[in-house]
């Protein structure tokens, strides 16, 4: 089960690497918008959602190719490890 364990570990690490920047950016932007809303006492739902969508969309547009390259490398690693997975090694 060493090949399967390694593949699962690589998959979880890759998912974390891909998701963490978007979550951090959305959290920072959401906190900044919340501070501005608290200071101005304007509580419009659109004002909280739109900046998060724009910043996360920009992040994905800028770094999406890197993420796809990493996913492709993981896919190739999964394909090359199929014989080891079938043998159970």
| Residues ≥6 apart with Cβ < 8 Å to 61 | none
**Predicted pLDDT at 89:** 58
In three-state secondary structure terms, 89 is coil
Other Cβ atoms less than 10 A from the Cβ of 31: the count is: 10
Residue by residue, pLDDT tens for the chain (89 residues) are: 688 888 899 999 999 999 999 999 999 999 999 999 889 888 787 788 899 999 999 999 999 999 999 999 999 999 999 988 888 75
Q: Are 37 and 50 in contact (CB under 8 A)?
A: no
Site of tokens 């918008």: 33
> Given this model, what pLDDT does residue 22 score?
94
> What's residue 57's pLDDT?
94
Q: CA quadruple 22, 27, 32, 33: dihedral positive or negative? A: positive
Show me where the domains of the chain are located.
2-87
């Amino acid at each position: 089960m060493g090949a399967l364990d390694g593949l699962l570990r690589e998959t979880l690490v890759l998912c974390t690497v891909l998701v963490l920047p978007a979550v951090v950016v959305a959290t920072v932007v959401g906190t900044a918008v919340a501070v501005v809303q608290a200071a101005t006492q304007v509580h419009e739902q659109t004002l909280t959602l739109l900046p998060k969508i724009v910043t996360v969309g920009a992040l994905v547009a800028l770094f999406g190719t890197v993420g796809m390259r990493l996913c492709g490398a993981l896919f190739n690693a999964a394909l090359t490890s199929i014989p080891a997975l079938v043998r159970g090694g």
